[in-house]
Amino acid sequence: MKIIDWLFRKKEIEENTDPMKKFLIVGLGNIGAEYVNTRHNIGFKVLDHLAKKEGLSFETVKLGTMAEYKIKGRTLLLLKPNTYMNLSGKAVQYWMDKEKIAKENIFVITDDLNLSFGTIRIKAKGSDGGHNGLKNIQLLLNSVEYPRFRFGISDQFKKGQQVDYVLGEWSEEEKSKLPERLDVAVESIRSFALSGLDITMNTFNGK
């Protein structure tokens, strides 16, 4: 092998094994047919939308299902935990450790009652905001410093009906607007991996 070929091959191997070019994109949700189209499962829906656009397939892995998405030298592991929402951190911690992915390279997608429908808010850190999935991730990672993507589902429910609302299906109006919002969500994931968190926040927050 010529020295120049060897150098290019070495560079290619280094790029493909560079831990900073590997990302864990986690969509939070609950498994089971009854939850598929619920507001609480927006994390799953975003990853399903990305997989459909890119022709990816999810395979059963330990603590969830996963698809691998490669884009411009980056590898994105799309994870849908099967632990149910309240134990999401178990899957996140396992795959972070197994794939040696740093906290700054994970991206957790979840629903948020405090944001109007379809509103995107991406942050580098923050509290769990009362969300049980984020609460468990924070507990197991022993940190609030990991990037998260909150997708607004609004709070249009009467007192005492929060659980039914969150675990309820989208309204017809929301369903009609969801595809466009999912497209924006997918673009934010690509931006996170290719352009970094700061640019992604500046570009997509409030979009």
137: left (phi over 0), alpha (psi -120 to 50) or beta: alpha
Rounded Cα distance between 102 and 159, Å, is 40
Digit-coded pLDDT (tens) for 139-149: 999 999 999 99
pLDDT at 12: 53
Question: Could you give the 3-state DSSP secondary structure of residue 154?
Answer: coil
Q: Is 49 a catalytic residue?
A: no
pLDDT at 84: 87
User: Could you tell me if 42 and 110 are in contact, meaning their C-beta atoms sit under 8 angstroms apart?
Assistant: yes
Separation in Å, CA 27 to CA 9, 46, 55, 58, 178: 34, 7, 18, 13, 16
Digit-coded pLDDT (tens) for 88-136: 999 999 999 999 999 999 999 999 998 999 999 999 998 888 788 899 9
User: Could you tell me if 120 and 185 are in contact, meaning their C-beta atoms sit under 8 angstroms apart?
Assistant: yes
How far apart are the two ends of the chain, measured CA to CA in Å? 51
pLDDT at 129: 80
DSSP-assigned states of every residue in 14-68: HHHH-GGGEEEEEE----SGGGTTBGGGHHHHHHHHHHHHHT---EEETTEEEEE
pLDDT at 7: 47
Confidence of residue 6 (pLDDT cuts 50, 70, 90): very low
Q: Name the catalytic one among 39, 40, 148, 181.
A: 40
